[in-house]
Amino acid sequence: MKAILSIILNLSVAILVAHAAPQPPITVAVYDLSGEGDAESYGNKVTALVTADLTAETNLVMVERAELNKALREQAFGVSGIVSSDAAAKIGQITGAKVLVVGQVIKTGENHLVIVAEIIGTETARLFAPTVDGPADNLLELTSELSAKIARTISDQATNLVMPPEESHEARLERIIKSIHSTNRPNVSVYILQYNRYGTRWPDVVAENEFGALLLKAGFEVVDNNSDQKPDIEIIGEAVTSWGEASPARGGLLSINASVEVKIQEKKTGKIIAFDRQESAAIGAGETVVDQTAQVNAVDALAERVLPLLAK
């Protein structure tokens, strides 16, 4: 009975700690909440008031207005109050904003305003649109109400608006190594060839080094043709990379796809332990860096499945 009570207590504490853990602040950029026609004069006022209100929210980090305007001018973005998901993604890349707030002010009567805010996740393209309406004479109250709705929506919908943080390379390697429960560590050789579209092939240094580094970190002994010891297991593979053209939709960045496939075989018996293949893509500005990133990601995903097999 005491053991059960102890487990329940520990679980309760864990749940309370999880709920109490502060969430990292979200970076927000307020674009123009513009008005047309009779409402045009309200656009700048609404934008300024909403920005001021959101600045007071401790869980939000606001992009400075001057910095945002400079970035938008450099990218030749117009001011319309309507932003596509592609444009929102681009603004997010430029400013670091995870959430973009835009919108429109609409005058529907002699003294009546409807203010529509569009909250866009720059990484996810998810959209939420809180609205307020009321007398134009009560603009301060309207914008305060709208700001509260915006802040609450960002907080409640954070998992839909913001992508979860990517696992770091080091954290992934640590997790892969911890997944190997057996103490068996055979000698392993790694030989991977790189192919290009012209049929030329050569040793793929990036893939071989990444595989070798992972094996060494996990306690395996890595050997090659110059080693005194012979491999117990051979990893033989092929890597193919393909380059896409820089795309305006990706902000002029280059995309590269990498495919790595391997055969894992016992040297002494010739027994095939596994065939496996992994594709990965990376996007960035430098061809060499993007190529290496795509290959490393593919090898890491392969290693996560392969290393436990080698240790059996």
Domain residue limits, the chain: 23-161, 169-310
Q: How far apart are CA 207 and CA 193, in angstroms?
A: 9
Tell me the mean pLDDT in the region 19-41.
79
Share of the chain above pLDDT 70, in %: 83
**Contact 292/206 with Cβ under 8 angstroms?**
yes
pLDDT for position 86 = 78
User: Is the CATH number of domain 23-161 3.40.50.10070?
Assistant: yes
Tell me the mean pLDDT in the region 122-136.
93
Q: How far apart are CA 187 and CA 259, in angstroms?
A: 25
**Would the CATH topology of 23-161 be identical to that of 169-310?**
yes
Please give the model's pTM, rounded to 2 decimal places. 0.54
Tell me the mean pLDDT in the region 264-280.
94
pLDDT for position 21 = 45
Estimate to the nearest angstrom the gap between the alpha carbon of 44 and the chain centroid. Answer: 33
Q: Which fold has domain 169-310?
A: Rossmann fold (3.40.50)
Mean pLDDT of the chain: 83
3 state DSSP class of 159: helix
Query: Tokens at residue 23, please?
Result: 């969430």
